[in-house]
Amino acid sequence: DPLTCSIGAEISGVNLGDAARDADLFAEIKALLLKHRVLFLRDQDITRAEHVAFARRFGELEDHPVAGSDPDHPGLVQIYRSDKRENYENNYHTDGMWRSTPTMGCVLRSIEVPPVGGDTIWVNMVEAYKNLPEDVKKRIDGLRAKSSIEHSFGAVMSPEDRAKLAAQNPPAEHPVVRIHPETGEKVLYVCSFTTNFANYHTPENVRFGLDKTPGASNLLNYLVSQASIPEYQVRFRWQPNSVAIWDNRSTQHYAVMDYWPAPRKMERAAIIGD
């Protein structure tokens, strides 16, 4: 059941524990994922082992340098928000863009949710690229940009811990327009992790105000802002045991931080990308 015209669909009558064991069922789910980019399922009363086993159908799982994992199920990151108001997901982002091999996709299950609030928004970044003006598409063709974990997750750390995080996770460089490895689609591939272009050259005329070509910072801000356009989005209201599966290569998402001090506990398996 598609939820919007551009992104998202809800699947019913499927248990992901069964999909972890049934190759044909998994193949059907994966095909739907490539089509709709994010899939939602309700009432998934599955074990952590089944959660991990289903996600591993897509590939090996990754750990996270900041968020902790369940000790009995490596790769199952526990995103528990309750006692502290600090949050890292309340901006539009693509998971792991700060890695040299960004996350391929994620399987996120809700354990405990607030009575109201705590929704998550996903964005179709293929659609975002498709609707850019042609002159902007030409300008960003061949551009590359750097992304960093330091200015996001590191923002609430001490200077010493932030420096350690940055040293262990140096900035990664990626194309501004990515080609999806399975569908061949062009994806606008910058987000809140992106700090700067790596190879943007400003014409001399711009410096003297003789050319309307935007400077690097204005262009990057414009590209990042495309994720906030509602026509590219789907918004999901969580219930206990709801699951979202998304293709991280063609989407961004935003965890809405409007529920504190109510608790919100989620568990996520993230798949290593290319």
* Residue of 93, 99, 178, 249 with catalytic role: 93
Whether the CB-CB separation of 229 and 188 falls below 8 Å is answered with: no
What letter represents residue 150's amino acid?
A: E
* Residue of 73, 81, 95, 174 with catalytic role: 95
Distances in Å between the alpha carbon of 213 and those of 3, 183, 198, 201?
38, 32, 18, 11
Task: Tell me if residue 253 is catalytic.
Answer: yes
> 154 φ, ψ to 5°?
-75, -10
* Closest listed residue to residue 253, CA positions, set 13, 30, 40, 32: 40
Task: Tell me if residue 95 is catalytic.
Answer: yes
Cα torsion 111, 1, 25, 244: sign:
negative
Neighbours of 38 (CB within 10 A): 26
* Residue of 36, 57, 174, 253 with catalytic role: 253
* Residue of 81, 174, 264, 268 with catalytic role: 268
Whether the CB-CB separation of 143 and 201 falls below 8 Å is answered with: no
How many Å apart are CA 170 and CA 112, to the nearest integer? 34
* Closest listed residue to residue 241, CA positions, set 56, 61, 116, 108: 108
Neighbours of 200 (CB within 10 A): 17
Helix, strand, or coil (residue 234)? strand
Helix, strand, or coil (residue 76)? strand
Take residue 64 and report the two structure tokens written for it. 């996270």
- Which residues are known to be catalytic? 93, 95, 253, 268
